[in-house]
Amino acid sequence: MSLNRSPLVRAVNVHKHFGHLEVLKGINLDVDAGQVVCLLGPSGGGKSTFLRCLNHLEKIDRGSIWIDDKPVGYRLEHNKFHEIREREVAVQRAQIGMVFQRFNLFSNRTALENVIEGPIQVLKLPAKEAHERGVQLLERVGMMNWADRYPAQLSGGQQQRVAIARSLAMNPKLILFDEPTSALDPELVGEVLGVMRGLAADGMTMIVVTHEVGFAREVADKAIFMFDGVIVEEGAPSDVFSNPTHERTKQFLSKVL
Amino acid sequence: MEELLNSQSFSGEIPIVPIRKWGRWVSAVIIVGAFVALILGLRHAQIVWGDVPKFFAYRTMINGMVVTVILACACQGLGVVLGVAIAIMRRSKNFVVSWCAWLYIYIFRGVPTLLQLYIWYNLALAFKTLGIPGLFSVSTNSVMTPFVVALLGLGLNESAYYAEIVRAGFNSVDHGQVEAASSIGMKPSQTMRRVILPQAMRVIIPPTGNDFINMLKATSLASVVAVHELLLSTSNIYAANFRIMEALMAAALWYMILVSIASIGQHFIEKKFGNDQSNPSSMSLKLSMRRSLSPRGLMSRGRRGTGGFA
């Protein structure tokens, strides 16, 4: 990297296929620290797959993904990418938060236990310190009153807020959001987006796959439209949403706006 | 309707008359009648009932009972340890390993337990000695004591079944849980220990209790390979005094007691592992007994389990 300040996330010519189906056909993307990037587009366009490649939940077939100038999922040696073991990938993933469409809270642990699991097990924080931080984070997402509830006792919006606190607890450099509000009842979407707005305002680097055009327009620094595994349009939301240049973006926006 | 609602006598509430469930009453009467007939019949049976408690407390009988408990625990223990190992092998991405585990399950589930016991019992006919050629060897007969034969026969058989139980437990854990664990940087071993196993336990524990109860009874098969467990002790007793039915009744009583104790234990273990609120159907023993034994419970079984939060 010859740049002075290289981006936090850099995806170079990322390809991915499942069997014969080519899901990603050469994605290039740079995300600077502190930026909020929203990925939009129709389902099946490869947005979620790309997001999952960023923390190596999916292996890419070609290209490279760099976070903090280090390749994700590989070790660069003698100009070759060597696959690294799952437990070494785990060390990389600890710095990348992820929030899932289906929340995926640990169902056998309370809200607070979910939040402190990573700090205690992975960061090896003392229990007391992890506990204090966990309480602070639950406070931040407005879930302190439900700290001792199990996920099954919480609404979708509440679960998703706990899930955001769980990823924050790892002090990530970056958080990936995979359609965080798509599984929520409409009246619960607002509370989750509210927490995400707060994170963006605090300068968290976020890559968000979403169908919430309003949120993207308001919060994102960069909006990206993906169709059929390629990025067809990207730019500041104000430009992209008001003056889409690509025919497919126009079609998509006319349907969702 | 207007007439009724406006009439003087109407107090605001219309009484509800429940459906009369005659079928339940008829079947209950028939069953109680049959039960009484059975008791009356047993009074005329040629069994010296006074001998049953006597045999029940025989030293031989109690020794046999102790052997039964030890054998059942040992076999179940072997079954659980091997079963978990085989279930993990079955998940392996290495084809040879997972195929091996499949074959093991296929063989040990396919051959009758009694036949497996005979095979282990007669192992010396095929192999005079056991060991690694050139390193060490021991005479088969000295290793394969009746207890070891029973342990292998029952334990390996159980492990094949148990592997399937564990596999079902692993499969019951949503893959999203594993991804969530990965996303916070947990290593595969941590994910297995902290996320998959505790959640799989909910599915694994109840059938484990059933298996143990079955194992308590299956140890009676070991009587054919000369293990002095409860059934063989019983037959030793009646071989001496020809009070066959009396001795068998005493043994039946012991098995019932062992199984009852195991059932109570199972209930508490189930409660412990099911206490995460994601499964609100777990009831206390007292409550569940009260519900199923009370006349209301008997009459309204269909309404059980509709509670709990959504």
Q: pLDDT (tens digit, 9 = 90+) per residue, B19-65?
A: 888 899 999 999 999 999 999 988 888 888 899 999 999 999 999 99
Instruction: Report the pLDDT value the prediction gives residue B46, as an integer from 0 to 100.
Output: 87
Coil, strand or helix at A14: strand
Q: Rounded CA gap, B85 and B100, in Å?
A: 12
State which residue of chain B sits closest to A167, comparing Cα positions. B184
Judge whether A160 is closer than 8 Å to chain B, CB to CB.
no
CA distance B112 to B97: 25
Does the global pTM surpass 0.90?
no
Cβ separation of A102 and B189 shorter than 8 Å?
Answer: no
Which residues touch B56 (CB under 8 Å, ≥6 apart)? B250, B253, B254
Chain A residue numbers touching B185 (CB-CB < 8 A):
90-95, 118, 122, 170
User: Tokens at residue B108, please?
Assistant: 């040990």
* CB-nearest partner of B184 from A57, A87, A118: A118
The arithmetic mean of pLDDT across residues A217-243, rounded, is: 92
Distance CA A204, CA A123 (A): 20
Which residue from A86, A106, A150 is facing B180, i.e. has the nearest CB? A106
Quote the CA–CA distance of B291 and B300 in Å, as a whole number. 10
Indicate the pLDDT class of residue A6, thresholds 50, 70 and 90: confident
pLDDT for res A255: 83
Q: Does B277 contact A at CB distance below 8 Å?
A: yes
Within 10 angstroms of residue B302's Cβ, the number of other Cβ atoms is 7
* Structure confidence at residue B19 (pLDDT): 87
CATH topology of domain B49-292: MetI-like fold (1.10.3720)
Q: Any chain B CB within 8 A of the CB of A106?
A: yes
Q: How confident is the model at residue A4 (pLDDT cuts 50, 70, 90)?
A: low
CA quadruple B267, B268, B269, B271: dihedral positive or negative? positive
Residues of chain A contacting B176 with CB distance shorter than 8 Å: 100, 102, 104
Query: At residue A155, does pLDDT exceed 70?
Result: yes
Higher pLDDT, A183 or B302: A183
Within 13 Å, how many C-alpha atoms sit on residue B207's CB side? Answer: 18
Of A1-10, A124-133, B279-288, which gets the smallest average pLDDT?
A: B279-288
- Would you give the distance in Å from CA B118 to the centre of its chain? 24
Domain ranges of chain B: 49-292
CA-nearest residue to A169 within chain B is B184
Separation in Å, CA of A116 to nearest CA in chain B: 11
Q: How many angstroms separate the CA of residue B83 from the nearest CA in chain A?
A: 24
How does residue A95 score in pLDDT terms, banded at 50, 70 and 90?
very high
Chain B residues inside the 8 Å CB shell of A179: none
Nearest CA in chain B to A172: B184
Q: What is the mean pLDDT of residues A75-96?
A: 92
A171: nearest CA in chain B? B184
Q: What is the mean pLDDT of residues A132-148?
A: 95
Q: Residue A62 in 3-state DSSP?
A: strand
> Which residues of chain B are under the pLDDT cut of 50?
277-285, 288, 295-310
pLDDT at B300: 43
pLDDT at position B26, please? 94
CB contacts of B180 in chain A (<8 Å) are: 98, 100, 104-106, 163, 166
Q: Does A153 touch chain B (CB under 8 A)?
A: yes
Q: Which residues pair with A231 in a beta bridge?
A: A226
**pLDDT for A113:** 96
**What's the confidence (pLDDT) of residue B283?**
43
CA neighbor of A50 nearest in space, from A83, A25, A75: A25
Å from A122 to nearest chain B CA?
6
Complex ipTM > 0.95 = no
The shortest C-alpha distance from B265 to chain A (Å) reads 22
Residue in B186, B188, B309 nearest the CB of A121: B186
